[in-house]
Homo-oligomer: A and B are copies of this chain.
Amino acid sequence: MIAGATNMAAHFADRLLAEIERKKTPAVVALDPVFENLPRGLRDAADPLRAIRSYAMRVLELVAPHVPCVKINSAYFEAYHAPGIAVFDELLATARRLGLITLADVKRGDVGHTATMYALAQLGDGDRRSDNSPDAVTVSGYFGEDGVRPFIAWAAPRGQGVFVLVRTSNPSATVIQDAPLANGQRLHEWVGRQVASWAAEPETLGERGYSLVGAVAATRDAGDARRLREAMPHSIVLVPGYGAQGGRAEDFAPYFKPDGTGALIVSGRSVIFAYEKAEATSRSIDWEQAVAAACKSFADDVARLITRN
């Protein structure tokens, strides 16, 4: 398959699995640029958003040979209001031209007609997706089915995907998401059950047995990860936390099935800001080389997780 020639009508999960196999790694780079963390030379710019744009465009080119997928968080662009959103859209379009599967990490959530408006806004508004439409979005699960269904309905005919937040990585997630329910499950397991039920519907399933409805899960407790993997057999699990957040490749193994499918591992700052440590100690470093090397190292490291057992 030629990069950038992805068939748009194809099912999201099938396209994603094909790209993971083509690049031989389940690695996802999170591109969340912050002006203060840009390479030294770019921080001199008078226009922070313009500097962020140049940097992020180049990062996409640097990581595209190594990973199947990038995740871009809208918060870092919303901070620059309308011009920031224009850059966010431009980056999604560029990533797609580079043959990358694109995840818009927007964590939107609302109900009824408003949820449909968010789906339209974040997944695109054409029967054929416009250039800047991402391949998938992240959504909140707190509203229950009414909040997620409009995103599924929007994504399905367009070959797009939806990742529902199940268990996040922050310390205080234990208070809400791990709250024990009267039925013996913890809240995030209960949300996972909901996700599993939507993901089991035939109309959300692709040819490979995975659904367009995925999940975001970040616990590094091996038992919890295994339980979530088993509870959501049709969902691809998006797992943040590699690298700067402390996760090593082996910590993510429980999110994969024995055949090596089922999860995407995300690394952010340890790749995109890979030059920071060197910059702090040496006078000059080729930031592009540092990012490319860190990306390749990350991609290679997690590649062994998809080796069939």
Residue numbers of A with Cβ under 8 A of B are 32, 34, 73, 75-76, 78-86, 89, 107-115, 117-118, 120-122, 125, 132, 140-147, 165, 168-177, 179-183, 187, 190-191, 194
Contacts and interface: CB of A to CB of B under 8 A. Distances in A.
Copies of this chain, how many? 2
Contacts of A176: 141-144, 187, 190-191, 194
Given A78-B118, A83-B82, A111 B168 contact: yes
A75 B170 CA distance: 26
Contact of A144 (B82, B111, B175): B175
A81 B140 CA distance: 21
Sorted nearest first, the 6 A-B pairs with minimum C-beta distance are A144-B172, A78-B121, A111-B170, A146-B170, A75-B117, A82-B86
A114 B177 contact: no
A113 B118 CA distance: 23
Contact of A107 (B32, B75, B108, B113): B108
A165 B144 CA distance: 13
Contact of A168 (B113, B143, B177): B143
A114 B32 CA distance: 9
Contacts of A177: 142-144
B187 A172 contact: no
A75 B110 contact: yes
A305 B212 CA distance: 46
A145 B172 contact: yes
Nearest to A171: B146
A81 B142 CA distance: 25
Contacts of A173: 111, 143-144, 146
15 contacts: A75-B115, A75-B118, A75-B121, A78-B121, A82-B82, A84-B121, A109-B109, A142-B177, A144-B174, A144-B177, A147-B170, A176-B187, A176-B194, A179-B181, A181-B181
